[in-house]
Amino acid sequence: MPKESSNPSSVQENVPYDTVSTLFELLFTILKHLFFKLTFNLKGTLVKSRPILWNSQYHFMATLWQTSKCHTYNGENTMIISERDTIAIFGGAPFPSDVLDVILSYSSLRVAADGGADRVLAHGAGADYIIGDLDSVSPSARMAIPHDRVIFVDDQDSTDFEKVLSHVDAPLILGAGFLGGRVDHQMAVQTALTQFPTKRVILVGDDDIVFLCPPDLLLDLATGTRVSLYPMSSVTIRSDGLNWPTDDLVMEPDGRIGTSNHALGPIRLRPTAAKCLVILPRGVLDVVIPAILRAPQWCVPATK
């Protein structure tokens, strides 16, 4: 009988093909990310109405990555602008398919914040663009989108939600996948809403919608509708039509807040600063959208 070798290196093992393929894909993704950070510096430009990114000549490494159909643009100066239509943005927090259906009924252009592309893809929809530092989106989700619409933003001082708001503009932005999930992510998103006060953004969750209150907001709400006002900094909100009036009350996140109020009918809100979030039941989204579009906008620029 042949003697078994005691040398471990002489023992041949069959490594599953799927394992090898996964390792190569991971290695390829890591190398590609490093090369782009070092060598790829393609700038974008403003594109209005129909959002199509500027296509310039690539240098050598970019051409190599093009063959994978999964390379990225350095999008520091890229803006996706829609002058007329609502833009839908998607984050990585879970959201049900009916939320997606509601948002897509208002918009046709879909922008994913990094791993939000996987959430949209899981619902069978897909995104038109991906924006972020690309640390959470899967290779398969990236490959499902044309390479010139994957926008890499190398900024570790901002969240993916902030990166999207910095590179997207439209009369109205509707978001899903930003409420729920990790609490720290949701708190960061709420903070970011106050950092982009000139943009009309409504976040849609399973049960609620959240948005930054404009300077003067009129809402035709039914009697008994829950109305929560949450201050992100010191702010006074003059109000009409609320069960518990807020006039002359200074609200602060570590002091008096305005949650769990309710409407006596149509309401009017007039905050003294762009620091108050409004939280309403999701069922009144149809009322809120036209009201937000009619309301005056804050004139203060974004803080980021």
> Which CATH topology does 210-282 take?
Jelly Rolls (2.60.120)
- Range picked from 4-8, 76-80, 242-246 for highest mean pLDDT: 242-246
pLDDT at 69 over 50: no
Distance, in Å, from the CA atom of 246 to the CA atom of 235, rounded to the nearest integer, reads 11
| Other Cβ atoms within 10 Å of 180 Cβ, number | 19
Q: What is the dihedral of CA 201, 107, 218, 189, to 10 degrees?
A: -20
Flag whether the pTM goes above 0.85: no
| Amino acid 181: pLDDT | 82
Distance, in Å, from the CA atom of 62 to the CA atom of 82, rounded to the nearest integer, reads 28
Higher pLDDT, 51 or 143: 143
Q: With bands split at pLDDT 50, 70 and 90, how would you rate the model's confidence at 30? A: low
Mean pLDDT of the chain: 81
Q: What is the 3-state secondary structure (H, E, C) of 231-265?
A: ECCCEEEEEEEECCCCCCCEECCCCCCEEEEEEEE
pLDDT digits (tens, 9 = 90+) for 189-215: 999 999 999 999 999 999 999 999 999
Once rounded to an integer, what is the mean pLDDT over residues 270-283? 97
| Amino acid 282: pLDDT | 97
pLDDT at 233 over 70: yes
pLDDT digits (tens, 9 = 90+) for 70-88: 334 455 567 887 878 899 9
What are the CA-CA distances from residue 59 to residues 28, 37, 40, 170 (Å)? Answer: 19, 14, 8, 32
Distance of CA 75 to the CA centre of its chain: 16
Residue spans of the domains in the chain: they are: 23-51+59-206, 210-282
| Amino acid 43: pLDDT | 35
> Which CATH topology does 23-51+59-206 take?
Rossmann fold (3.40.50)
pLDDT digits (tens, 9 = 90+) for 148-171: 899 999 888 899 999 999 999 999
pLDDT digits (tens, 9 = 90+) for 12-22: 444 454 555 55
What are the CA-CA distances from residue 253 to residues 149, 152, 232 (Å)? Answer: 39, 34, 6
Q: With bands split at pLDDT 50, 70 and 90, how would you rate the model's confidence at 44? A: very low
The 3-state DSSP class for residue 23 equals helix
| Amino acid 263: pLDDT | 98
Higher pLDDT, 108 or 226: 226
Q: Are 107 and 85 in contact (CB under 8 A)?
A: yes
At residue 218, what are phi and psi to the nearest 5 degrees? -110, 125
| Amino acid 293: pLDDT | 97
Domains 23-51+59-206 and 210-282 in one fold: no
**What percent of the chain has a predicted confidence (pLDDT) above 70?**
73
| Amino acid 154: pLDDT | 84
Helices 160-167 and 183-195: crossing angle in degrees, nearest 10, is 30
Distance, in Å, from the CA atom of 225 to the CA atom of 50, rounded to the nearest integer, reads 38
pLDDT digits (tens, 9 = 90+) for 111-128: 999 999 999 999 999 899
